[in-house]
Amino acid sequence: MASTEHSTAATSEMDEEKEAPPPQDLTLGWVRDALIRQEDSIVLALIERARFPYNAPAYDPSLLPQQGGRSLVEAFARGAEVLQAKFGRYQNPEEVSFFPDDLPAPSGIPYNFPEVFHPASASVTANNAIWNMYFNDLLPLFTVEGDDGNYTSTAAADLVCLQALSRRIHYGKYVAEVKFRDAPQDYMTAICAKDRDALMKLLTFEAVEEMVKRRVLKKAMVFGQTVTLEDKTFDDETKYKVDPAVVARLYDEWVIPLTKDIEVEYLLRRLD
Ligand SMILES: O=C(O)C(=O)C[C@]1(C(=O)O)C=C[C@@H](O)C=C1
C-alpha cells in the first residue's frame, strides 16, 4: 500500500513538471505556471549557447554566397523551420515561425491542439523584434569574443534560444485571452476606444514582474554554477556560465515588454 501511495505521489509530481497543452478552461494561475516553467528552458538555452564564443562568421552573409545573401545562422534557421514545419511543429499554436512564408504543409502525426485563441488575434507575432533583439542586443552580452569554428552548432544553439524566447513571449496571447475572459467589460471599453495605454495599464502587475525578474536571476545563479564534489560557498567571486544580471536584464528590457506588446496587440483584435 505504502509503495502505491509513493508511486502515485511521484507520478503527480512528474505531471506538474511536464508541459501539457493549455486546458480549454484556462486560468491565469495555469498560464503563469507555464511561464515559470519556460524560464528554465530560456536560462538553460542561454547556458548552452554560451559554451561557444561569439563566432562572428556565423552571422556574416558574405561568407555564404550560395545562400543568396543569407548568413549561416539565417540559412540554418530557415532550413530547420522547413523541416520542423513538415513534421508539424507549427500545428501547435504555441509555436510561431520566424520565416512563415516559406513553410511546407505539415505531414506529421495529427493532433487536435485546443483552440484557445480568438481567431482574429491568433496571428499576432513579435518574431521580427525577437530576432533583431537577440542578435543585435542580447548575444554580445552573454558570449565571449572569439571563433572556434563551431558555426553550425552555434546556429543550432541560437535557434533553440530564439524558439524558447519566442514561445515565452507569444504566451502573452494566452495571458491576454485569460485576462479578457476574467474581466470582459473592463477590456472591451479599452479595446473599443483602441486605447493602448489603458490596455497596458489593465494588464500590468508590477509586483508579478518584480518576482519574475528576481526568480530568473536566481535560476541563472543556480543553473549556471559549476557543480563539484567539494563543499564551497557561492559569493561575488563565483563564476556563472551566463551572467545572472544579463538574464535579469533580458527579462526586464525585452522579454516582459515584448510579452506585454503581444498582449496589447492580441486584445486590440479580440473583438474583430
Ligand atoms: O503574469 C501576467 O499577468 C503577465 O501578463 C505576464 C507578465 C510577464 O511578462 O511576466 C507581463 C505583464 C505583467 O505585468 C506581469 C507579468
Does the beta carbon of 256 sit less than 6 angstroms from any atom of ligand 1? yes
Mean per-residue pLDDT, 166-194? 97
Residue of 236 and 266 predicted with greater confidence: 266
Give nearest CA residue, ligand 1 atom 9.
256
Q: What is the DSSP letter of 123?
A: T
Asked if 198 contacts 190 with a C-beta cutoff of 8 angstroms, the reply is: yes
Query: For the residues of 1-19, what is the DSSP string, one character each?
Result: -HHHHHHHHHHHHHHHHS-
Give nearest CA residue, ligand 1 atom 1.
32
Does the beta carbon of 208 sit less than 6 angstroms from any atom of ligand 1? yes
Q: Give per-residue pLDDT as tens, 47-102.
A: 999 999 999 999 999 999 898 899 999 999 999 999 999 999 999 999 999 999 98
Measured CA to CA, the distance from residue 166 to residue 258 in angstroms comes to 10
- From 175, 179, 266, give the residue whose CB has the most ligand 1 atoms within 8 Å, as the site to mutate: 175
Nearest alpha-carbon partner for 104 in 68, 122, 78, 127: 78
Q: What is the pTM of this model?
A: 0.92
Grade residue 207 by pLDDT with cuts at 50, 70 and 90.
very high
Q: Encode 24-62: b = buried (16+ Cβ within 10 Å), e = exposed.
A: eebeeeebbebbeebbebbbbbbbbbbebebbebbbeee
What is the reported pLDDT for 18? 58
Atom nearest to 259 CA in ligand 1 = 9
- Specify the range with the lowest mean pLDDT, choosing from 14-23, 101-110, 201-210, 248-257: 14-23
Grade residue 231 by pLDDT with cuts at 50, 70 and 90.
confident
- From 174, 178, 205, give the residue whose CB has the most ligand 1 atoms within 8 Å, as the site to mutate: 205
Centre a 10 Å sphere on the Cβ of residue 69 and count the other Cβ atoms it contains: 10
Measured CA to CA, the distance from residue 41 to residue 38 in angstroms comes to 5
- Is the pLDDT at 131 greater than 90, yes or no? yes
Interface confidence (ipTM) of the complex: 0.99
Measured CA to CA, the distance from residue 172 to residue 261 in angstroms comes to 8
Asked if 127 contacts 135 with a C-beta cutoff of 8 angstroms, the reply is: no
- Is the pLDDT at 236 greater than 90, yes or no? no
Separation of CA 171 and ligand 1 centre (Å): 10
What's the whole-number average pLDDT of the chain?
92
Atom nearest to 255 CA in ligand 1 = 9
Does the beta carbon of 186 sit less than 6 angstroms from any atom of ligand 1? no
What is the reported pLDDT for 12? 42
**Number of residues written out for the chain:** 272
Atom nearest to 256 CA in ligand 1 = 9
Does the beta carbon of 27 sit less than 6 angstroms from any atom of ligand 1? no
